[in-house]
Amino acid sequence: AAETIDGKGIAALVRAEVGVAAQRLTAAGQRPGLTVVLVGEDPASQVYVRNKDRAADRAGFRVETRKLPAQTPQAELLALVAELNADEAVHGILVQLPLPGGLDADAVVRAIDPAKDVDGLHPDNVAALWMGTPGHRPCTPSGCVELLDRTGIDIAGRNAVVIGRSLLVGKPLAALLLARNATVTIAHSRTADLAGLARGADILVAAVGRAELVRGNWIKPGAAVLDVGINRGADGSLVGDVAFDEARERAAAITPVPGGVGPMTIAMLLRNTAAAAARRAGLDAEQVFAEARLIAAER
Ligand code: NAD
């Protein structure tokens, strides 16, 4: 049976490393600062925001959540973004999506300073991703690549099939895998013979939002399988987009749900924020993380 990729453990490791980096940056006068903007009362968003807040706090960041009522006018939200753009103590701005009806999420994301857009959704960052220039990369997709790297799974030259083409997950993940020299196919709801396509994948990613869409006989023997999906099962439990028990009979490595890709998102959000603080301090973020990794490994 497949190796279960321990996303929870790997995310904890990344957060510990970011914590070490945060100490260094604080000493350099740039304590990483994250502001989360939550508009309205969506219960799922409230849980996500609380988790982000707690993780940032534990990593030694300065973190605040700005809560606004669902009826907040667009102009007021844009004014808050402008205020945070100008605030030197804020390195990362995250506007929790989706926004309540009547608000233009696209315009809000465009208003964020791209250097502080730690979700990587501003058009400048989307362009930078596809151009291969520096910029913030979206958190869930970069978490997927981090899982592959830290599990020792090769990417270059291999066939990757990404099921799902959203702006948040599928498309940016395809770009990241392409940048790492995978041969990438993006599949979606209109793809013909999805199962046959999946069977050619050395790296198969499901980011759809349909419980157990991907069956065991879709998996190429020896493949790595990343399950991004989060769905509610009939009994209320969380299930992924992949039929885990079937898939693990054929895969070489697979992420569980929960405890796979999910925990990586916040870890990468913290890393993006710390990277923004490092750049503000005039430091090379990659070097700061490399040093933090060595220090964290000794602890
Ligand atoms: P989305 O609804 O925006 O996109 C879903 C994609 O799946 C679409 O591109 C669509 O073309 C494709 N699709 C739909 N039905 C299909 C089918 N039958 N066959 C093949 N493709 C099909 O969703 P999203 O935001 O990309 O999220 C996808 C899943 O990942 C959701 O379950 C979501 O909850 C989860 N998610 C998890 C994290 C995390 O782990 N932190 C982050 C974001 C999203």
**C-alpha to C-alpha distance for 265 and 57, rounded to whole angstroms:** 16
Q: Are residues 101 and 167 in the same domain?
A: no
Tell whether 73 and 150 lie within a shared domain. no
State the CATH number of the domain containing residue 200. 3.40.50.720
What are the tens digits of pLDDT across the range 242-281? 999 999 999 999 999 999 999 999 999 999 999 999 999 9
pLDDT of residue 53: 98
With 0.90 as the threshold, say if the pTM is over it.
yes
CA-wise closest residue to 204 among 253, 138, 168, 257: 253
Question: Do residues 101 and 155 both lie within one domain?
Answer: no
Q: Ligand 1: distance of its center to the CA of 162 in Å?
A: 11
For residue 208, the CA-to-ligand 1 centroid distance in Å is 3
CA 221 from centroid of its chain's CA atoms? 27
Q: What is the pLDDT of residue 18?
A: 98
Domain boundary among 238, 254, 270: 254
Q: Are residues 226 and 164 in the same domain?
A: yes
What is the average pLDDT score of the chain? 98
Q: Is the pLDDT reported for residue 10 higher than 90? A: yes
Q: Is 120 annotated as a binding residue?
A: no
pLDDT at 299 (0 to 100): 87
Is the backbone peptide bond immediately before 138 cis, with ω within 30 degrees of 0? no
pLDDT digits 0-9 by tens, 159-204: 999 999 999 999 999 999 999 999 999 999 999 999 999 999 999 9
Helix (H, G, I), strand (E, B) or coil at 244: helix
- Is the peptide bond preceding residue 98 cis, with omega within 30 degrees of 0? yes
pLDDT at 36: 98
Query: Is there a single domain that holds both residue 85 and residue 191?
Result: no
pLDDT-derived band at 142, boundaries 50, 70, 90: very high
Pocket of ligand 1 (CB under 6 A): 140, 163-166, 168-170, 187-189, 191, 194, 207-210, 213, 228-231, 261-262, 265
Residue 230 annotated as lining a ligand binding site: yes
> How many H helices and E strands in the chain?
11, 11
| Whether residues 107 and 49 fall in one domain | yes
Total domain count, the chain: 2
Co-location of 143 and 92 in the same domain: no
**pLDDT for 233 beyond 90:** no
Asked whether residue 288 is domain-assigned, the answer is: no
Atom number of ligand 1 nearest to Cα 165: 9
Ligand 1 atom with minimal separation from the 228 CA: 30
pLDDT > 90: what percent of the chain? Answer: 99
Q: What is the pLDDT of residues 99-139, one digit of tens each?
A: 999 999 999 999 999 999 999 999 999 999 999 999 999 99
Name the strands in the sheet holding 183-187, side by side, starting at the edge strand that comes first in the sequence.
3-4, 253-254, 224-227, 203-206, 159-163, 183-187
Asked whether residue 173 falls in the same domain as residue 87, the answer is no
What is residue 62's three-state secondary structure?
A: strand
Q: Are residues 156 and 103 in the same domain?
A: no
Which of 79, 113, 147 is a domain's end point?
113
Determine, yes or no, domain membership for 133: no
85 within domain boundaries: yes
| Three-state DSSP class for residue 65 | strand
The verdict on residue 71 lying in a domain is yes
From 254, 269, 287, the end of a domain falls on 254
Strand partners, 233: none
Q: Which of 98, 59, 96, 70 is nearest to 81 (CA)?
A: 96
Let me know: does 156 contact 135? Beta carbons within 8 Å: no
Residue 295 lies in a domain: no
How would residue 234 be classed by pLDDT, with cut points 50, 70 and 90?
confident
* 241 domain-assigned: yes
* CA distances for 108 relative to 40, 205, 273, angstroms: 15, 29, 19
CATH number of the domain within which 86 lies: 3.40.50.10860
CA 147 to chain centre: 11
Do 143 and 247 lie in one domain? The reply is yes
CA dihedral of residues 61, 64, 65, 67 (deg, nearest 10): -170
Tokens of 62: 């300065």
In a domain, residue 182? The reply is: yes
Structural domain harbouring 55: 28-113
